[in-house]
Homo-oligomer: A and B are copies of this chain.
Amino acid sequence: MFENASRTELTEMGEFGLIQHLAQHFESFADTTQLGIGDDCTVIQRDEHSFSLISTELYLEGVHFDLTFHPLKHLGYKLVTAGVSDILAMNGKPEQVLISIGLSNRFSLEAVEELYAGVRLACDKYKVDLVGGDTTTSRSGLVLNITAVGSVSKSSITYRKGNVKPNDLLVVTGDLGGAYMGLQVLEREKRVFMEVPSMQPDLEQFDYIIGRQLRPEARWDAVALLQELGVVPGVMMDISDGVASEIFHLAKANSIGFDIFEEKLPIDPQTVETAVSFDLNPSIVALNGGEDYELLFTVGQDQYEVIKNQPDFTIIGYVTDLVLKNQLITKAGNTFDIKAQGWPESQK
């Protein structure tokens, strides 16, 4: 290739497309590699009955977090949550985390200790070991990378591409859109504070959604419940970019589509109220808001009775054979196509 012969902007292909594009010409050598790029985790042969799971994620100041409103302790907790959530998304058991950290000299030891106090709280909560990492100087803001490691039995691993067929149920844990609305509130308060520094924000009425943004929980309890119920989902992933984006991946991987019922979307009242006060449609917030760290999975129709009685599981739709056609059935009975990313123009 000639240097500078052409220039293609990175924004022309999404993040997912970029990874796939870059990895396409790579050969495979190791016979322990079970699954490479394209799922929540890399899957590696462990022993006769189980796989190792590994995921890695980069968290950059100014992109993934804003230190003016992300307390360092919460940030440490959230970092581990994000890593652990990837292991859970494969129906796995999180076991270890490794954290790389790039620090500018504006950080004191006490500040780093705060960050690690949050990491420790999360490690205690999820019962994972901090086993390694790398510490270095950064010339440009706080840089964090989490590598999470876990294991899963070969009989219960759940991939993005899996055992799924039309009429299977689409299920989500917890509620949706809270983390996104929490971020909107925090960013609004930051703007107000920049203009009128003496203003003390009253955030108590937003406690739930702000907590969802600053200190999300990975759903280890949902994975434990699935195991207790004897349910192995057909496909599963965690909701880091938003339901609309995640169902696009599931639909593409399995050559299927989804019908989702607006009235079924689980949304906390605080999320609804805040969305309305921001002039946003709560259903669109629920579909497009990221960082909820809930789990999204499919089960066969025969599991309907088992799932419907679990208060923390909500059946929001079902699988169709309309390849890559993902639709929202509104409360009024109208049908709209769900876009993979971004907001429908009219809802902005």
Q: Interface residues, chain A, CB within 8 Å of chain B?
A: 1, 4-13, 15, 18-19, 21-23, 25-30, 32-33, 35-37, 41-42, 44, 46-48, 52, 54-58, 60-64, 95-96, 98-103, 105, 107-110, 112-114, 116, 120, 123-124, 127-141, 143, 145, 147, 149, 151
Contact = CB atoms under 8 A, between A and B. Distances in A.
Given A29-B129, A131-B42, A10 B138 contact: no
Given A9-B109, A23-B130, A139 B141 contact: yes
Given A8-B108, A11-B105, A15-B136, 6 more contacts: A7-B110, A22-B116, A37-B132, A47-B47, A60-B139, A98-B147
Contact of A140 (B6, B36, B62, B149): B62
6 closest residue pairs by CB, A with B: A140-B140, A8-B109, A30-B95, A36-B131, A58-B100, A145-B145
Q: How many copies does the complex hold?
A: 2
A306 to B, nearest CB: 30
A311 B108 CA distance: 48
Contacts of A7: 108-110
A100 B83 CA distance: 13
Contacts of A96: 30, 32-33, 42, 44, 54
B22 A102 contact: no
Contacts of A44: 52, 95-96, 131, 149
A48 B120 CA distance: 30
Contacts of A42: 96, 98, 131-132, 149
B26 A129 contact: yes
30 contacts: A1-B113, A5-B110, A7-B110, A8-B110, A10-B108, A13-B109, A18-B109, A19-B133, A23-B130, A27-B123, A28-B129, A29-B128, A30-B128, A32-B151, A33-B96, A33-B129, A37-B131, A44-B131, A46-B52, A47-B48, A52-B52, A58-B100, A58-B101, A60-B139, A63-B102, A64-B136, A98-B147, A140-B140, A143-B143, A145-B145
